[in-house]
Every structure is written in structure tokens, then in C-alpha cells.
């Protein structure tokens, strides 16, 4: 367990921020990344997202604080993360991508770092701005999100050793794969439900005979 959380591994995720191409390359080829750290970043992102929705000033925030549920948001983010990883992996391993599921989950987790690092300061800044000054807040949030998306793109490109065009194509296919996965899950769920219902009614019939 300890080897996943060495000081070097923590530091390396920040190195990837400033040197995405080199950084992500070494994650693939020299095992410098860590899945648990990536996982922690995903959870942290979900937390920061909930905090931002809950605590940012109402000047920039139209969310009803009573409707924020950090746990269900965490669940949603984790499901989306899992779908993204599995969807991308299932497409890229058919399209001669070099990345393993491990690498995909690491780079997606690491790319969330800019959003984690900007959401909390943005929330704090939102407390000291008035109307017409929202730009400061939105610039910060937009920059963080944009940089995260850029990192994700570069990361997927690097670990699979793809060209930009191929990366974009696989990303579109990834979205389709995600939809297929969701469809399968829903179908299996409803089928299991019906089977369960069938046996349940047999049980009830026997019970009330």
C-alpha cells in the first residue's frame, strides 16, 4: 500500500500539471502514477464541486443550497468517472491504443487537479465580489475547467500514442460506448427486476394459498 502514496508519487501529480506530455508519458512507461491517488483526486473534486455549489455567494450561484447533496453528487461523479475509464478503455484497446485501464484512470484522475485547485479559491473569491464583478469568479472557474479538459485530452493522446485526430475520434466513440454501457446496465437491471418479480409472485402465491 505504501508504494502508492510515496512523496514522489504525490509530487509527480503536480509535475504532470506543468509538463503534461512528459508527465503522462512516464506514467505509461515508467509507472510513476498511482491509481489510489487518482481516485483520491476524483473524490476531492466531487467534494470541491459540492462545496462550490453550497458555499459560493448567491451573486454567482443560483443553486438552492437545500438541494445540494454531497453524497449523491459523489456517487454521480464516481459513476461518471468509472464509465469514462471503462468506456475509453473498451474503445482504445480495439483501436490499438497503448494505454492500460490503470493508465486511463490515473490520467483522468490527475487531470482533475486544476479544477480542484481552482474551485475552492473561486468559492472564496465569490464571497468578496458584488454584481458586475462576477468575471473574476468565472474566469477562475473556466480556466480551471478548460485546463482540466486540455490535460485529459493530452493525457489520453499520450498514453495511447495517438494523433490528435485519432484521439478526438476515440473520444466520440467513448461517448457512444458509455451510452451502450448505460443501456446494457438499464436492460440488465429491468430484466433482473422482472425475474425477481416473477419469483416474488410465485412466493406470494404459495404463501397465500
Partner 1 sequence: MMKNVIQKMLLMLLVFVMLASTCYADDVPYTTYNYDYWENIVYTPAAYIPDGKIDGATILDENGEAIGGFVTPNDVYLGKDNHLYIVDSGNNRVVVLNADDYSLIHIIEGFDNNGVAETLKNPMGVCISENEDGFIYIADADNYRVVILNSDYTLNTIVENPQREDNVLEDNFIFCPQKLIVDSAGRLYVIAKNTEEGILVFNENLEFENYFGTISVSISTWERVWRKLSTKAQRQKQALKISTEFNGLDVDDDGFIYASFADTNGVQGVKRLNPKGLDVIKKGYNEHTGGDIGQYNATGSYDGMSRAIDVCYCENGIYSFLDSRRGRVFTYDHEGNLLYVFGGFSDNGAQEGCFKTPKAIEKNKEQLMVADSTLNIVLLFKPTEYGSLINEAVGLRYDGDEATAVPVWENVLKYDANFELAYVGLGKAYLSAGDNKKAMEYLELGMSKQYYSIAFRRYRNEFLVGNLEWILTLAVVLVIGGVAFKKWRNRNKYTDNSADTLE
Q: With respect to partner 1, which residue has the nearer C-beta, 18 or 67?
A: 67
Closest approach of Cβ 61 to partner 1, in Å? 10
Closest approach of Cβ 21 to partner 1, in Å? 31
The count of residues in the chain is: 209
Q: With respect to partner 1, which residue has the nearer C-beta, 60 or 178?
A: 60
Q: Count the helix, strand and coil residues of the chain and give each as a percent rounded to the nearest 5.
A: 80, 0, 20
Closest approach of Cβ 38 to partner 1, in Å? 33
Q: With respect to partner 1, which residue has the nearer C-beta, 71 or 131?
A: 131
Closest approach of Cβ 133 to partner 1, in Å? 8
Please enumerate in sequence order all residues whose Cβ is within 8 A of that of 33, keeping only pairs 6 or more positions apart, or say none. Answer: 9, 12, 13, 27, 103, 106, 107, 110
Q: With respect to partner 1, which residue has the nearer C-beta, 58 or 208?
A: 58
Residue 33 falls in which region: left (phi positive, over 0), alpha (psi -120 to 50) or beta: beta
Which residues here bind partner 1, judged by CB under 8 A?
58-59, 62, 64, 67, 128, 130-132
Compute the distance between CA of residue 181 and CA of residue 17 in angstroms, rounded to an integer. Answer: 31
- Phi, psi at residue 43, to the nearest 5°? -65, -40
Amino acid at each position: 500500500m505504501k508504494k502508492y502514496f510515496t512523496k514522489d508519487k504525490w509530487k509527480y501529480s503536480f509535475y504532470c500539471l506543468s509538463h503534461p506530455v512528459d508527465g503522462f508519458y512516464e506514467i505509461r512507461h515508467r509507472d510513476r502514477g498511482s491509481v489510489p491517488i487518482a481516485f483520491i483526486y476524483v473524490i476531492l473534486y466531487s467534494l470541491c464541486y459540492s462545496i462550490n455549489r453550497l458555499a459560493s455567494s448567491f451573486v454567482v450561484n443560483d443553486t438552492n443550497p437545500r438541494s445540494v447533496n454531497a453524497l449523491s453528487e459523489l456517487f454521480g461523479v464516481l459513476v461518471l468517472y468509472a464509465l469514462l475509464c471503462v468506456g475509453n478503455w473498451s474503445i482504445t484497446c480495439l483501436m490499438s491504443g497503448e494505454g492500460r485501464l490503470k493508465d486511463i484512470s490515473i490520467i483522468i484522475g490527475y487531470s482533475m487537479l486544476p479544477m480542484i485547485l481552482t474551485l475552492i479559491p473561486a468559492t472564496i473569491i465569490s464571497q468578496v465580489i458584488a454584481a458586475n464583478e462576477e468575471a473574476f469568479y468565472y474566469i477562475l472557474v473556466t480556466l480551471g475547467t478548460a485546463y482540466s479538459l486540455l490535460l485529459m485530452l493530452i493525457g489520453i493522446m499520450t498514453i495511447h500514442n495517438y494523433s490528435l485526430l485519432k484521439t478526438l475520434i476515440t473520444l466520440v466513440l467513448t461517448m457512444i460506448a458509455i451510452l451502450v454501457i448505460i443501456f446494457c446496465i438499464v436492460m440488465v437491471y429491468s430484466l433482473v427486476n422482472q425475474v425477481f418479480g416473477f419469483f416474488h409472485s410465485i412466493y406470494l402465491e404459495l404463501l397465500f394459498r
